[in-house]
Structure 1
Amino acid sequence: MINTKTNSKSRIIFLLIISIGLYACNNRESFSIEKQSFTTDMIIDCESVDCASIEINLLNIIGDGPVAKMINKEIQNTICIGLGIDKTSTTLSIKDIVSQFNTSYQNIRNEFPDDNIPHEATIDCELNYQSDNLISILIDSYVFTGGAHGNGTVSYLNVDTENGKKLSNSDLLKDHNHFKQYVEKIFREQHKIPENESINSTGFFFEDDTFSLPETIGFTSNEVVLYYNQYEINSYAEGPIELRLDKKDVSSFFTYTIL
């Protein structure tokens, strides 16, 4: 999990063009991806005021068509959710997101001057997988706004490259229950939970004592990744739980091409 303090004025925006060129044969949009980095002191004068520490390394789809714009919106929406920012505005830029997070910190600091707890956010986006009809973006976040510890989360943003829409787990799977039954067997084997015992018998806390798939399902070139974040099925101290399945074994469960 990333948890890196931002350097001050030494950082600059960088554009790293990822030479992948997402395209398809049926007159779909052609576009590429760049990586951009934003920190607080690129946007706000932090020499004269105490700022929140923010570093966001996001992917930006380069293209003028509606699909590119939709994917960029979904990426920014995911970042907003991670930072606890209202994502209802369709014109919210990444600079606006950084400014709003910092403004929230400034407001709390002014309201409670005796409890000045620095706020920190680090978010990194990586393109994990691409096919003709699907891209899977890994978003690794760490946010600290007070309390005993920060909140580190991993999520995958899966997007249909034909229309730019975010795909839910239900969109990805042909039969949710069938896949869940398959994964439960693997989960029990890996964590030594007998088939005739409760799924929570070894200390997990699945809701209603019933196995469930994680909220986060993503893809790499060879694997399907199932990622349970901290608190999802166990305590913070136990950490996240990750299952990696060979694509060749599970491709038939998915509605999209993953091989």
Structure 2
Amino acid sequence: MAQQTCQICLEQVDDILTQLCRRTCPAAVCINCTREYIKVKTRSVLQGVVAKLNCPICIRPINLVRWHELLGDKDEEIFQFQERIRVACAVKCPWCSTMQTMLPSPHDSMPPIKLPASLARHIPQLKTLCGRYCRHHLSAQALYSFIRDTFQQYSSQILDTILPLIHDTERRAMLFLRWRRDEPFIKTPCCNADVCFSCHTAGHHTGQPCSSLESNEDIAQCPECKLHFVKSDGCDSMTCFCGQYFSWQNERMVFQFKKISPTSLS
């Protein structure tokens, strides 16, 4: 095989990776530069922030399963990147003080879902939307809204079933976090203790808003991943770690309204 030029180091090498994010992807990057890129990207991501691992050339997000295909299942840099994402779904048990992620582990088999016939007919569409979501062609909000509005009282059962089938840690975490914004009350797997996932406090404060952030008026949330931001200066245009662009003033106002009416504006 003829050597090709790496678009990052400009060296002529044999181990060139191509078609990183799609079949028409123009990238041609050597394995060493790819691993170094992922290492730098991993170190730049804050612990617990759900970030995407984009193509280094065309900046499109790439499913982490695709990265495993390119670099191998046991690539250490990909593993470290995934571990930082899992922290975003972690809570501390109020009884044993163990910090553990609530993000479901991936598996390949799908247990049968008992649904009324009127809802079961939507499963093919759900599979299609999940495929689009995993390819970064659909947002977590859009997929979650479809599940919630279509399956209604069965939505939690659907989410419990499909989350482990999403092998991309970032995609799985984004959907999990979106779900837990609406249903934050969980039980820890170690002690079966009640915890609010949103404010990480012990107990289920049903009917009362989370109090951990109520005193600060200068907080906004990313409209995509819901990461909280505090800003002291700079312009109104913001870019989240997940890649979402938003207006600081707009999202700050939205966050303040949510504190006033947390259920109607969720």
**What is the TM-score normalised by the length of structure 2?**
0.27
**What is the TM-score normalised by the length of structure 1?**
0.28
Higher share in helix: 2
